[in-house]
Structure 1
Amino acid sequence: MEKKLVKTVFVTVGTTQFDDLIQTICSTSVTEELNKLGYTDLILQIGNGKDPERVDEQNLNIKFYRFKNSIEEDISNASLVISHAGAGSILDVLGAGKPLLVAINENLMDNHQIEVAQRFSNEGFLYYCKPSQLVETLQDVNFDALKPYEPGKPEKFAKVLDRIMGFTQPDS
């Protein structure tokens, strides 16, 4: 009997809520695309958001939870991570060496998430999109082309954040 290869997508929204991302991930179009790409499992960390209204499984084993003491194991076991653009989540995933697709929460006030995501994307460390663009992005990107991020260099991340927040000028 042939053993099935497990490929897991882990989705995290952090400690807040990002219902648009969770509902989009659970849609037929996204679950079908994940299935086409060979993913077998989908784990959703939904934070303070609503339970998924409808989950279209499309041959995916889907589980969700609100919070855990640590999501490190879920990140470590994932073949792909889809995350909100929180700085901590981005650093955790990149530090674990996992391919990352960041979904931008456009409903946040004074949203610096897009600047953080754009900068890391421009450096070749991750891809980003709006939740409404998930299917097209999954179809178009090559996660193998992402550059590895060197963890343990917080000064690099601090410089990026300082530039985004306007504390320093961009490099010339």
Structure 2
Amino acid sequence: MEETGDAVKEKKLVFVTVGTTCFDALVRAADAQDLKGELLKRGYTHLLIQMGRGSYIPTKSAGEDGSLAVDYFTFSSSIADHLRSASLVISHAGSGSIFETLRLGKPLIVVVNEDLMDNHQSELAEELAERKHLYCARPQNLCHTIASMNLESLLPYCPGDATPIAKLINRFLGFPDD
């Protein structure tokens, strides 16, 4: 909670992550005024951008006068704490970031990097979006996705049990059953 004049306002953090990649299009989209305005309209108070190897530098803001507080960093040894404290996660389409966020039960928008060749990541993001576990966007329609999203419509992600497959592989390789 933060003090804002007479009222106490709950901190609602949006965490943007590009992982170890360079994804300036996502960082630039997250830094756009219309997107920040849309986040404010939806009650978010803070925007934290992990910009990776990118060269685009977002605009920092202390969040005075009812604006969104914005900060950024390049890398962290672990983003787990940022994910845990987030009210909404906007991520690149890396499977590690996607599944770590879904396991934490956080609302997620995955932004596909269309500049990648043979973008198998988009297939994963689109499949999980079709199953209603997350929203899938492109940098150019991220603001529209935020404006039209209904987080209550997302379904929790329940990881499958890999034990039967592991046992089958072990049997095939000649290892004894446990």
2:18, 2:51 within 8 Å by CA — same for their partners in 1? yes
**Given the two structures, how large is their TM-score scaled by the length of structure 2?**
0.82
- CA change 1:94–1:133 in 2 (3 A) is same
1:54 positional shift: 4.3
Equivalents in 1 of 2:88, 2:110: separation in Å? 11
Q: Does 1:33 align with 2:38?
A: yes
Partner of residue 136, structure 1: 144
State the Cα deviation string for residues 129-155 of structure 1 (Å, max 9, x = none): 10100111111110111001124x364
Q: Does 1:115 align with 2:126?
A: no
Partner of residue 5, structure 1: 10
**Counterparts of residues 66-81 of structure 1 (less than 5 Å):** 66-81=74-89
1:51 positional shift: 4.0
Partner SS for 2:98: helix
Which amino acid in the other structure matches residue 37 of structure 1?
R
Q: Which sits farther off after the overlay, 43-52 or 102-111?
A: 43-52
Equivalents in 2 of 1:67, 1:11: separation in Å? 12
1:38 positional shift: 0.8
* Residue correspondences, number: 156
1:2 positional shift: 2.3
Partner SS for 1:3: strand
Partner SS for 1:134: helix
Larger Rg: 2
Partner of residue 91, structure 2: 83
1:9, 1:81 within 8 Å by CA — same for their partners in 2? yes
Partner of residue 168, structure 2: none
Which amino acid in the other structure matches residue 108 of structure 1?
L
- CA change 1:6–1:54 in 2 (3 A) is closer
Partner of residue 44, structure 1: 49
1:129, 1:137 within 8 Å by CA — same for their partners in 2? yes
Partner of residue 162, structure 1: none
Give the percent of matched residue pairs that are identical in Structure 1 and Structure 2: 42
User: Paired residue for 1:16, among 2, 21, 29?
Assistant: 21
- CA change 1:52–1:99 in 2 (3 A) is same
- CA change 1:131–1:4 in 2 (3 A) is same
1:55 positional shift: 5.6
> Structure 1: 5+ residue runs without aligned partners?
159-172
**Given the two structures, how large is their TM-score scaled by the length of structure 1?**
0.84
**Deviation beyond 4 Å, 4+ runs, structure 1:** 53-58
